[in-house]
């Protein structure tokens, strides 16, 4: 792909995800350990926080400002119904304040801030503008403002994910992982444990505390990672980025696999049977959210499998950015039938065959696809 293709879109996307990660860290620091009014439940009972709405408003405002609101179509997870209810006045005020605090720091990230603070109506407009349903034609930004809200609320892993789809294909993917350690060894520890440890001994320059933002552009054959922007630092882009590559391990006995923490929408028992039949011996890495894609893109794990429970449909914002980053880092992503994921059919991954399989390379991928075919008939999915 021509280097100039999507270069402005990628630069804006990386900058705004860095900004969103800083916003989330502030909210998470204030949230963890408090029984806060800042967490609400959606109709499907999944939690949603001030950070979800604030990130959506911030990203929406910046994209409209840079590319013109009439040119920007955004598919995103959150809607404003809960936020607009009379009993949510405090919540709405917290969102407006969080958005304005974040936007005031835009110049630090190489973006323009508003001339004056946004009013409540402008913040609600920015959130509700994200009402596209995607599809096979045109350009659509795909945003998951806080992927893994449960992890976020618990002070653990979560991600901010932004992708650009053009004519049904993901062309840019950016994944911000504010709690993802730069050092793989810390992945197995809970975030709070690590924070306690790092207070006792000052962290090295590339330690966990930074978190990271990963990004890729379709067809470049490259995926990149940058440390988070800390304190009063300015974002240097792309100077502080380094290339990431998937792991070269292709022996199942040596491979690490990721599985979802959340049991509600995953079939853990089928995955467990598959793990046994493929010969995976290592302890699984249980990680919230799209951070699993980050782990594979960076070579910290080799396999991620997700088989949904009956009736659950995968949404494009939970996968778009992560899939592209893994692919450009050298990995393979398909459904369980070996077909590429189809992002051109609206907000769901329609036509998905049984589940999603993400691998660091083709050899492992083939073994898993083979095992799925062998195990499926004997499974009671």
Q: What is the mean pLDDT of residues 334-343?
A: 96
Last residue of a domain, one of 244, 268, 290: 244
| Cβ neighbours of residue 74 closer than 8 Å, sequence gap 6 or more | 59, 60, 63, 129, 130, 131, 132, 140, 141, 142, 143
Q: What are phi and psi of 10, to 5 degrees?
A: -65, -45
Residues 203 and 352 in one domain: no
CATH value at residue 157: 3.30.540.10
261, 20, 315: which is closest to 151 by C-alpha?
261
Residues 235 and 111 in one domain: yes
| Cβ pair 170, 318 in contact under 8 A | no
Residues 61 and 85 in one domain: yes
Ligand-binding annotation for 377, yes or no, is no
Residue 34 in this model has a pLDDT that exceeds 60: no
Q: Tokens in use for 268?
A: 């853990």
362, 294, 299, 306: which is closest to 335 by C-alpha?
306
**Residue 193, pLDDT score:** 53
Least confident of 91-95, 177-181, 196-200, 313-317: 196-200
Q: In the chain, what percentage of residues exceed pLDDT 70?
A: 86
Q: What is the 3-state secondary structure (H, E, C) of 30-52?
A: HHCCCCCCCEEECCCCCEEEHHH
Q: What is the mean pLDDT of residues 320-343?
A: 97
Question: Could you tell me if residue 265 is inside a domain?
Answer: yes
Residues 135 and 262 in one domain: no
Residues 363 and 301 in one domain: yes
293-329 pLDDT tens trace: 999 999 999 999 888 877 889 999 999 999 999 999 9
**Residue 45, pLDDT score:** 58
Ligand-binding annotation for 318, yes or no, is yes
**Residue 381, pLDDT score:** 45
**Residue 301, pLDDT score:** 95
Last residue of a domain, one of 212, 244, 276: 244
Q: How confident is the model at residue 48 (pLDDT cuts 50, 70, 90)?
A: confident
Judge whether 52 counts as a catalytic residue.
Answer: yes
> What average pLDDT is seen over the chain?
87
Residue 43 in this model has a pLDDT that exceeds 80: no
Last residue of a domain, one of 209, 244, 279: 244
Range of the domain at 369: 252-378
Question: Could you tell me if residue 2 is inside a domain?
Answer: no
Least confident of 23-27, 271-275, 347-351: 271-275
73-106 pLDDT tens trace: 999 988 888 898 888 898 999 999 999 999 999 9
155-172 pLDDT tens trace: 888 999 999 999 999 999
Q: Among 52, 156, 300, 335, which one carries the catalytic annotation?
A: 52
Ligand-binding annotation for 90, yes or no, is no
Least confident of 26-30, 173-177, 223-227: 26-30
Question: Could you tell me if residue 1 is inside a domain?
Answer: no
124-136 pLDDT tens trace: 999 999 999 999 9
Residues 226 and 273 in one domain: no
Residue 202 in this model has a pLDDT that exceeds 50: no
Least confident of 35-39, 214-218, 268-272, 345-349: 35-39
Q: In 3-state terms, what secondary structure has residue 193?
A: helix
Residue 205 in this model has a pLDDT that exceeds 50: no
Q: How confident is the model at residue 209 (pLDDT cuts 50, 70, 90)?
A: low
pTM metric for this prediction:
0.92
Q: Among 58, 149, 256, 334, which one carries the catalytic annotation?
A: 149
Question: Could you tell me if residue 50 is inside a domain?
Answer: yes
Number of domains in the chain: 2
End-to-end, the C-alpha distance of the chain in Å comes to 41
Q: What is the mean pLDDT of residues 171-191?
A: 79
Residues 240 and 263 in one domain: no
**Residue 206, pLDDT score:** 47
Please state, in angstroms and rounded to a whole number, the distance separating the CA atoms of residues 214 and 224. Answer: 5
Q: Scanning the structure block, which residue is given the tokens 């990431």?
A: 244
CATH value at residue 303: 3.40.190.80
Q: What is the mean pLDDT of residues 342-360?
A: 95
**Residue 311, pLDDT score:** 83
Please state, in angstroms and rounded to a whole number, the distance separating the CA atoms of residues 373 and 381. Answer: 13
Question: Could you tell me if residue 347 is inside a domain?
Answer: yes
**Residue 208, pLDDT score:** 43
Judge whether 2 counts as a catalytic residue.
Answer: no
Residue 362 in this model has a pLDDT that exceeds 80: yes
Tell me the longest C-alpha to C-alpha distance in the chain. 63
Question: Could you tell me if residue 214 is inside a domain?
Answer: yes
Q: Tokens in use for 131?
A: 């009402």
Residues 292 and 153 in one domain: no
Residues 371 and 238 in one domain: no
Question: Could you tell me if residue 346 is inside a domain?
Answer: yes
Question: Could you tell me if residue 368 is inside a domain?
Answer: yes
Q: What is the 3-state secondary structure (H, E, C) of 112-132?
A: CCCCCCCCHHHHHHHHHCCEC
Ligand-binding annotation for 147, yes or no, is yes
Residues 292 and 193 in one domain: no
Please state, in angstroms and rounded to a whole number, the distance separating the CA atoms of residues 162 and 141. Answer: 7
**Residue 378, pLDDT score:** 52
Residues 232 and 261 in one domain: no
Residues 204 and 327 in one domain: no
């Amino acid at each position: 792909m021509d280097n100039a293709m999507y270069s402005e879109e990628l630069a804006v996307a990386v900058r705004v995800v860095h900004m969103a990660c800083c916003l989330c860290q502030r909210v998470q620091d204030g949230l963890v350990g408090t029984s806060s009014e800042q967490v609400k439940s959606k109709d499907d009972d999944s939690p949603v926080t001030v950070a979800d709405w604030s990130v959506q408003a911030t990203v929406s405002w910046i994209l409209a400002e840079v590319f013109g609101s009439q040119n920007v179509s955004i598919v995103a997870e959150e809607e404003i119904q809960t936020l607009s209810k009379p009993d949510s006045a405090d919540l709405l005020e917290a969102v407006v304040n969080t958005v304005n605090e974040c936007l005031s720091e835009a110049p630090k990230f190489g973006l323009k801030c508003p001339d004056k603070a946004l009013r409540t109506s402008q913040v609600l407009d920015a959130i509700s503008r994200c009402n596209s349903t995607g599809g096979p034609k045109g350009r659509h930004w795909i945003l998951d403002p806080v992927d893994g809200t449960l992890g976020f609320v618990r002070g653990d892993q979560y991600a901010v994910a932004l992708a650009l789809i053009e004519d049904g294909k993901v062309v840019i993917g950016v994944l911000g992982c504010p709690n993802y350690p730069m050092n793989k060894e810390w992945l197995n520890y809970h975030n709070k444990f690590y924070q306690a440890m790092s207070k006792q001994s000052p962290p090295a320059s590339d330690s966990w505390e930074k978190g990271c933002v990963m990004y890729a552009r379709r067809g470049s054959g490259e995926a990149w990672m940058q440390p988070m922007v800390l304190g009063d630092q300015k974002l240097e882009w792309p100077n502080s980025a380094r290339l990431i590559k998937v792991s070269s391990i292709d022996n199942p006995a040596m491979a690490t696999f990721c599985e979802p923490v959340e049991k509600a929408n995953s079939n853990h028992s089928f995955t467990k049977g598959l793990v046994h039949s493929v010969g995976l011996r290592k302890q699984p890495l249980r990680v919230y959210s799209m951070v699993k894609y980050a782990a594979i893109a960076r070579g910290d794990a080799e396999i991620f499998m997700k088989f949904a429970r009956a009736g659950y449909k995968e949404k494009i914002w939970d996968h778009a950015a992560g899939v592209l980053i893994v692919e450009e880092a050298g990995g393979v992503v398909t459904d369980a039938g070996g077909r590429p994921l189809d992002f051109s059919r609206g907000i769901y991954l329609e036509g998905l065959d049984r589940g999603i399989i993400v691998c660091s390379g083709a050899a492992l991928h083939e073994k898993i696809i083979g095992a799925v075919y062998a195990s499926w008939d004997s499974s009671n999915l």
